[in-house]
Amino acid sequence: MTLLVVRLRFTMWRTAMSRSSLHLTSSIVGGLVALGVVALLGPGIAVLSTRPLRLTALTVPLFATFTLMWVVLSLVATGVDNVLDPARFTVLPLRARELARGLLAAAYTGIPAVMFVLLSLAQVAAWGAHPAALPAALVAAVLGTLTAVLGSRAVTSALARVMGSRGGRLVGAVAVSLVTLLPLVLNLVLTTGAVGPDLRTFDAGPSARVASWTPVGWAWGMPYDVATGRWAAAGVHLVLAVLLVGLLWEVWVRQLARTLTSPMTAGGGQRIGRARLLPAVLGTGPTATIAARRIRAWYRDSRLVSIALRTAVLPVFFVVQSALTGAGAFAGTGVVTLAVFAGLTLMNDLAFDGPAWWVHVSTGVRGWEDRLGRALASTIVFGPVLVLTFVVSASLGLLHPVVPWASVSLAAFLASLGLAVGVGAVLPGTAPRTGGNPFAASSGGAAQGCLTAVVSFVGPLVLVLPVGVAAVLTAGSPVGRWVVLVVAGAYGAVLLAAGVVLGGRRLDRRAPEMLGQLASAQI
Amino acid sequence: MTDGARGEGPALELVGLVKEFRGRRVVHGLSLSVPRGSLFGMVGPNGAGKTTTLSMATGLLRPDGGTARVLGHDVWADPAAAKAVMGVSPDGLRLFEQLSGRELLHYVADLRRMPVEESRPRAEELLAVLDLAADANTVVADYSAGMVKKISLAAALIHAPRLLVLDEPFEAVDPVSGQTIRTILRRYVGTGGTVVMSSHVMELVEGLCDRVAVVAGGRVLADDTVGALTAGGSLHERFLELVGASEVSGDGLTWLGG
């Protein structure tokens, strides 16, 4: 059974790759990136064996963090893939326990999991200088990776249950969006506390001890306990880690059993009043109608709600961090990042529509109306958030000087919008399935994901750079900075117009082909 | 809305349509002519290419060869003009599920640039006739399969098109609503409209349509009036004859139930 599931996974993988060259390329690129990360991090961790114990202890907080990130990230998008959705096995006469064994084995075949296992082996090597700790490190590697993989499965499947109803999905989306910001909070705490660690005197011991008493650190703490001769602590950690793995396994099996007997169906009648406000404000032309629908989606569609929340909460951290550290650059970067993210949310907007986009094709909507409507909706949703963040940061005195930062933020928002509506008309990207778990992960998405990630990262940087340079150069000039602000606005508007026109033309020309792409854009 | 129609040719004319998926040809130079004012049924086994053909006829799937003309407008040379005069209800493509049924109708009408004074009353009337008024404020995501079919039909009708292309319009629809839809379609054809619909249900096509085309393997096997095609027998028998009943039907699967 186990072998069968693993083989099924490879078969599906192979089919997906042979059906799309983009998928193949991205799998190879993803594999190479993963290999690169392992090649860089792995030796870095292994070389800790030649360092004093106080530095080798770093593996404990490091791998505890990896484990935590694994579970948290699997909620967002990347950690788990749902090629083997348990719901697909419901009609087969299978016991949950058998299936769970198979799915667990299959989970270990994914690129991220292989990466994690390799790194955990580097962790074993790191304890090479302490022969007594070696077996403990090996056990830690096994229990630690199990904690991560089972933890992500248990948490996602338990959450998926909550997300079964639309109301639950909204609440869940809000909760999880905030949880996924946990690493940022961690970063906030760390950067305010620690000041540039000096390797000659740095002692990782205390943080290792703290990390080893968190659930994600129980397993990873064992080699350190043994190396420092605290056998009792090692024993307790071993028992706790085994119990945790057992508990996560049971939770997961139980969730699987429930999925097998009652596959999830979205329920709950959401009733909607007659909208009067949006049509009254925007009018009823095609562009306005599309904008109104997208605005409604930002608060009705749990998939978008979670994105909106994360996008909107993100800058708060930058601003808080800036206020705590007194470094104004953080606040400025935060506002600009928000501007870029808010613009780029349109990148995979078509994927969120999915096959339903046929309505636009069939009614003969022009491409530019589609593009402009979406840009308008994003401006109405994120514009106020952006302005508010900017005004708050500025009034706290964190944005200094104000006008150049305004120029860069404005250009960043408009340029990102333009980039997203332009590129989004060529690469629709992927989105979670309509009405599905908003955190449903994708493996097929990795395909275009890689390409769009590069475009989303490099694009805004390149487009905003000229404005940034101009803003810095004129920061001292009282007249010059205002000129730059006006020019930045005009420049952004031109980019947005270019995105709308070019993206629109592309959609006009290749609407049926886009519809074909969208058929498989939801995962 | 007769102004969009050019000349007096057929309502839908497909000439030599070809479609290949990954090198495999699924539609082989298919040609069909649907006269104006007729209720045209398209029947065929699973995988016959019905949905593929209708998608190419409505501008949703680009053919690899051949032409499709709707009331004189070339669907692929002048898509806007062709789309303006036809209403489409595809099978298996989702709708914007975050909108309520009423919002969806308004959305489609607005995309088609209909004046609000005209589209809003029409939407209410369609909701009432199709027995969706009670669920007009429920999001489409919560609709049953039959209700989705009905709201999709309403969205195709709202701009009073001259040609209706419906893929499996009766699937999952209850008998009462089914009767309503039949009445609507007959009345629509009576006023000069044209309907092209696909179906698996022979009895339905036989009782409702004027003309029928049997499609299998991406080719038209027969295309005639229902009376001429059945020639005294039933469409069901004629269909099995044309398509060829499966060999297994008699002797295979003997272990089943044994």
Quick one: which of B153, B8, B162, B7 has its CA closest to B82? B162
Q: Which residues neighbour B158 within 8 Å (Cβ) at sequence distance 6 or greater? A: B87, B105, B108, B109, B112, B114, B119, B122, B123, B126
- Compute CA distances B192 → A313, B1, B164, B189, whole Å: 58, 11, 12, 5
For residue B4, what pLDDT is reported? Answer: 44
Bigger pLDDT: B124 vs A443: B124
What are the residues whose beta carbons fall under 8 Å from the beta carbon of A375, sequence distance 6 or more? Answer: A346, A417, A418, A421, A496, A499, A500
pLDDT over 90 at B64, yes or no: yes
pLDDT reported for residue A282:
77
Mean pLDDT in residue range A281-300: 85
Closest residue to A512, CB basis, from B60, B108, B110? B60
How do the domains of chain A map onto residue ranges? Answer: 2-260, 283-518
Sign of CA dihedral B109, B115, B120, B123: negative
Q: Which pLDDT tens digit goes with each residue over B172-212?
A: 889 999 999 999 999 999 999 999 999 888 888 998 999 99
Mean pLDDT estimate for chain B: 89
In terms of C-beta density within 10 A (0-12 exposed, 13-18 middle, 19 or more buried), how is residue A15 classed? Answer: exposed
Q: What is the pLDDT of residue A268?
A: 46
Mean pLDDT, to the nearest integer, of A86-111?
81
Are B26 and B19 in contact by the 8 Å Cβ rule? The answer is yes
CB contact under 8 A, B95 and A359: yes
State whether A363 and B112 contact (CB < 8 Å): yes
Task: Work out the percent of chain A whose per-residue pLDDT is above 70.
Answer: 77
* pLDDT value at residue A407: 93
Of residues A274, A296, A358, nearest to B60 (C-beta): A358
| Residue with token string 């106020």 | A384
pLDDT in tens, A237-255: 999 999 999 999 999 898 8
Residue A465, min C-alpha distance to chain B (Å):
38
pLDDT of residue A172: 65
Mean pLDDT of A128-152: 91
Confidence (pLDDT) at A191: 52
A178 vs A443, more confident: A178
Distance CA B104, CA B97 (A): 9
Give, as one character, the DSSP assignment of residue A273: P
CA distances from A505 to A267, A368, A372, A500, B130 (A): 39, 7, 12, 8, 37
Q: How far is A371 from chain B (nearest CA, A)?
A: 14
Chain A partners of B107 at a C-beta cutoff of 8 Å?
A: 289, 293, 359
Confidence of residue A173 (pLDDT cuts 50, 70, 90): low
Q: Which residues contact B8 (CB under 8 A, 6 or more apart)?
A: B36
Cross-strand bridge partners of residue B42: B198, B213
| pLDDT at residue A179, rounded to an integer | 64
A143 touches chain B (CB under 8 A): no
pLDDT, tens digit (0-9, with 9 covering 90-100), for B126-135: 999 999 999 9
**For residue A177, pLDDT beyond 80:** no
CA distance B39 to chain A (A): 21
User: Which positions in chain B have a beta carbon within 8 angstroms of at least one beta carbon in chain A?
Assistant: 22, 58-62, 79-80, 83-84, 88, 90, 93-100, 102-103, 106-108, 110-113, 116, 137-139, 141-142, 155
pLDDT bin (cut points 50, 70, 90) of residue A435 is low
Pairing assessment for the beta strands B12-21 and B24-34 based on DSSP bridges: antiparallel
Cα A286 to Cα A247, A374, B101, B111, distances in angstroms: 54, 11, 18, 5
* Residues of chain B found within 8 Å of residue A272, distances taken between Cβ atoms: 100, 103, 137-139
Rounded alpha-carbon distances, angstroms, from residue A15 to A31, A107, A109, A124, B176: 17, 18, 16, 36, 44
Q: Does A312 have pLDDT greater than 80?
A: no
State the complex-level ipTM. 0.89
Cβ burial of A518 (10 Å; 0-12, 13-18, 19+) is buried
Is residue B60 over pLDDT 70? yes
Which pLDDT does position A361 carry in this prediction?
A: 93
Nearest to B87 by CA among B193, B168, B177, B204: B193
> Could you say which DSSP state residue B68 is in?
E
Q: Quick one: pLDDT at residue B251?
A: 66
Low-confidence winner among A317-326, B17-26, B88-97 (lowest mean pLDDT):
A317-326
Residues B100, A272 contacting (CB under 8 angstroms): yes
Beta carbons of A364 and B80 less than 8 Å apart: yes
Structural contact between residues A230 and A136, judged by C-beta atoms closer than 8 angstroms: no
What is the mean pLDDT of the segment spanning A285-314? 79
User: Mutating which of B85, B111, B119 best tests the A interface, going by the most A Cβ atoms within 10 A?
Assistant: B111
Are B111 and A286 an interchain contact pair (Cβ–Cβ within 8 Å)?
yes
pTM reported for the whole predicted model = 0.76
Sheet holding B24-34, edge to edge: B24-34, B12-21, B65-70, B73-74
Interface test with B, best of A363, A369, A508 (most B CBs within 10 A): A363
Nearest-by-Cβ selection for A273 from B96, B99, B137: B137
Place of tokens 């629709």: A428
To the nearest whole Å, the CA of B78 is away from the closest chain A CA by 10
The pLDDT value given to residue A275: 60
Contact A42, A119 (CB under 8 A): yes
Given a cut of 50, is residue A267 above it in pLDDT?
A: no
- Evaluate if residue A443 carries a pLDDT over 70: no
- Whole-angstrom Cα distance, residue A451 to residue A175? 30
Asked if pLDDT for residue A420 goes beyond 90, the answer is yes
Q: Model confidence at B219, in pLDDT bands (50, 70, 90)?
A: very high
Contact flag B62-A270 (C-beta cutoff 8 Å)? no
pLDDT in tens, A382-397: 888 889 888 888 887 7
Please give the pLDDT value at position A304: 74
HEC per residue, B127-142: HHHCCCHHHCCEEHHH
Given a cut of 80, is residue A100 above it in pLDDT? yes
Q: Which ranges of A345-445 would DSSP assign to H, the alpha helix?
A: 349-353, 358-362, 367-395, 402-423
CA angle in degrees (0–180, nearest 5) for A158-A352-A264: 30
Over residues B16-35, the pLDDT tens digits come to 999 998 888 999 999 999 99
Residue A375 distance to chain B (closest CA, Å)? 17
Spatial distance between the Cα atoms of A337 and A460, rounded to a whole number of angstroms: 10
SS (H, E, C) A66-133: HHHHHHHHHHHCCCCCCCCCHHHHCCCCCCHHHHHHHHHHHHCCCHHHHHHHHHHHHHHHHCCCCCCH
DSSP conformational letter for B91 = S
CA separation for the pair B39, B37 (Å, rounded): 7
For residue A285, the chain B residues in CB contact (below 8 A) are: 110, 113
Q: What is the pLDDT of residues A52-81, one digit of tens each?
A: 888 888 888 889 888 887 877 666 543 335
Predicted confidence at residue B247, as pLDDT, reads 55
CB contact under 8 A, A300 and B139: yes
Sheet strands side by side (includes B219-225):
B86-89, B163-167, B194-199, B39-43, B211-216, B219-225
- A338: buried, middle or exposed (CB in 10 Å: 19+, 13-18, 0-12)? buried
Chain centre distance of CA B13 = 15
CB distance A180 to A72 below 8 Å: yes
What distance in Å separates the CA atoms of residue A161 and residue A259, rounded to the nearest whole number? 9
pLDDT at A433: 67
